[in-house]
Amino acid sequence: MKKEIHQHNLQDDGCCSHNHSHHHNEDDHDHGDSSALKTYFPAIFSLVLLLTGITLDYFKVDFFANYIRISWYVLAYLPVSFPVIKEAFNTIVKGEIFTEFLLMVLATIGALALGEYPEAVAVMLFYTIGELFQGAAVNKAKSNIKALLDVRPDVASVFRNDKYETVKPETVEIGEIIQLKAGEKAPLDGELMNESASFNTAALTGESTPKIFRTGETVLAGMLNLDKVITLKVSKNFEDSALSRILEMVQSATSRKAKTELFIRKFAKIYTPIVFFLAVALTVIPYFIIADYQFSTWLYRALVFLVISCPCALVISIPLGYFGGIGAASTNGILFKGSNFLDVITQVNTVVMDKTGTLTHGVFKVRELKTEIQEADFMSFLASIESQSTHPIAKAIVSYYGDEKLKEVSNVEEIAGHGLTATIDGKKVGAGNTKLFRKLKIVYPQEIDKQVETIVLLAIDQKYAGYVTIADEVKTDAKAAIKSLHDVGVNKIVMLSGDKTSITEKLAKELGIDQAYGDLLPEDKVKRLEEIKHDQTRVVVFVGDGINDAPVLALSDLGIAMGAMGSDVAIETADVVIQNDQPSKISTAIKIGKATKKVVYQNIALAFGVKAIVLILGAGGLATMWEAVFADVGVAFLAILNAIRIQKMKF
């Protein structure tokens, strides 16, 4: 996998990529300076010869004439033209005759034939320099992805034959124990066996704050162990780890093209032959309509026309713009599985989201406490009885109280769907829902029946003692996330949840969500989404994290999965993965999509605008080959710089 990603060229249709094989492959950098020299030497050599030749021409040096002068410029021409001539030949063999490579070759050989030697060299030289800039830009855009590759360790320390052995992570099996020293990255996903450990999760989530993991919690491959020697019980094979899946997604992301990108490819295939025949017409037609027709003058104008009209700036900068968008998103902990999804997200006007795990943590917390007795006594009895249950709500109560002060409990009886009864300090204690109290014929205040949230009541010796409300904790950025979605142009936000309708509606009101539906089964969520999609004007994003969200993720125009805590199925089905589970990243993803689209459209306008002006000047004989070179390479260079800009933007 480490090799494959570097060979994922942006121009995998063969456009404008004559030098890619030696300056896009980042693995070449392993060879140090020799690789850089090999990449840049032809351009440097030609540049030195060209500048020397122009200087000798300017001072009209005696020896620099005839065959010496021609040989000098041909020698300058060959190193930079050879890759282009080779590419032109290869594309002709494949049946693609009219490519920009052929345009460059015809234009420069024509210029040489006309005796315009410096111009011929300059066209190829600046074209090559443009390609080198493109290579540097692609490497810059790929740096985020390469950073992901670098976070995956090449070795694992696994416990075998009564000792720790260093092996390749691919060979470690599920259930084996691996050891991580401080400062080492987890090579595989695994459950923490120590009491607690601190990890830097930035490589996967973009979060710089260290995260504390407890016994049994899953540590993901790529997370950095910060404090002490720890052990993990491997829970997934190497190729199934979270990091491997992310890398796979990133690799395939560049092959899913956006419509604009595909259009430019098709456009270049039609545009290039038209340009070629216009150049032929520009040479031939004046013969019939101009009295003092000079073949060399009109041929030169046609060659200028060919150089200006080369579609490289478009073919380079548009994929690079999308690639920059994917890179900027991954820096922000957002993974787009293709540049086409960067386009789709710009049109989104409706966001439908799940509640648990998306807007809330999916972790229960004690929210409110109402009691008829001393609060400390109430919590002591309630936590002690709940410590006998494994239910998530019981765990939330014990966690709230702390387990070091628990009382001794005996005669515990669990009544399914109702609660618990037990003896504590010689008193008969009951804890559970209103159904339990009705069953035990214990009187409780009537307003409790109107409570929206999940509630746990406590009775001591058949007398009502109070209650606690339990709620799923809302994510800290949930409210801001909803506001920022409205700010970026989303005019309808809907929440779908399997939780009680009363709880769902209350949360929707708190957060500023437009519509909310509760008590939904997975098939009900699908039905609701289909209803929303009936309106043809709606471009719908669904955001979810659970296995039951997979059908709705697939059905929506764009599926976004919460990646850190989300289920594998949700992550596989989604088109965009938010790696740190923050709902505020949804609007960030929309902003990145819009910024990318803006840059791509700017590049298209720039390329067409400048070329149109210089083409008219060239056809009228007002632009020379030098202007043509700057129109082509200059525009490509500006477009590349504009595309790189996305990486630097703050979202």
| Packed helices 117-150 and 66-93: angle between N→C axes, nearest 10 degrees | 50
Buried b (16+ CB within 10 A) or exposed e, 610-619: bbeebbebbb
Q: Which of 31, 33, 145, 17 is nearest to 84 (CA)?
A: 17
Whole-number Å distance between alpha carbons of 457 and 393: 12
Type of residue at 406: L
Whole-number Å distance between alpha carbons of 110 and 305: 12
Token pair of 276, please?
Answer: 């070629």
DSSP 71-132: HHHHHHHHHHHHHHHHHHHHHHHTT--S-HHHHHHHHHHHHHHTT-HHHHHHHHHHHHHHHH
Task: Give the angle subtended at the CA of 471 by the CAs of 465 and 473, to the nearest 5°.
Answer: 140
Phi, psi of 99 (to 5 degrees): -120, 165
**Per the residue annotation, which of 354, 499, 545, 581 is the catalytic one?**
354
DSSP 585-629: HHHHHHHHHHHHHHHHHHHHHHHHHHHHHHHHHHHTT-S-HHHHH
Give strand pairing partners of 352.
494, 542
Q: Is the distance from CB of 574 to CB of 560 less than 8 angstroms?
A: yes
Q: Which of 196, 240, 316 is nearest to 641 (CA)?
A: 316
Q: Is the distance from CB of 464 to CB of 358 less than 8 angstroms?
A: no
Token pair of 550, please?
Answer: 């997979």
Name residue, tokens 């800290």.
476
Name residue, tokens 């545009």.
271
Give strand pairing partners of 224.
185, 200
Whole-number Å distance between alpha carbons of 319 and 340: 11
Handedness of CA 211, 215, 216, 219 (dihedral sign): positive
Token pair of 149, please?
Answer: 């590759």
Type of residue at 243: L
Give how far Cα 139 sits from Cα of 9, 131, 340, 620, Å: 10, 12, 21, 40
| DSSP letter assigned to residue 526 | H
Whole-number Å distance between alpha carbons of 309 and 275: 7
162 counts as catalytic: no
Three-class SS state of 515: strand
The CA-to-CA distance between both ends of the chain, in Å, stands at 30
Token pair of 216, please?
Answer: 């049994």
Active site residues: 354
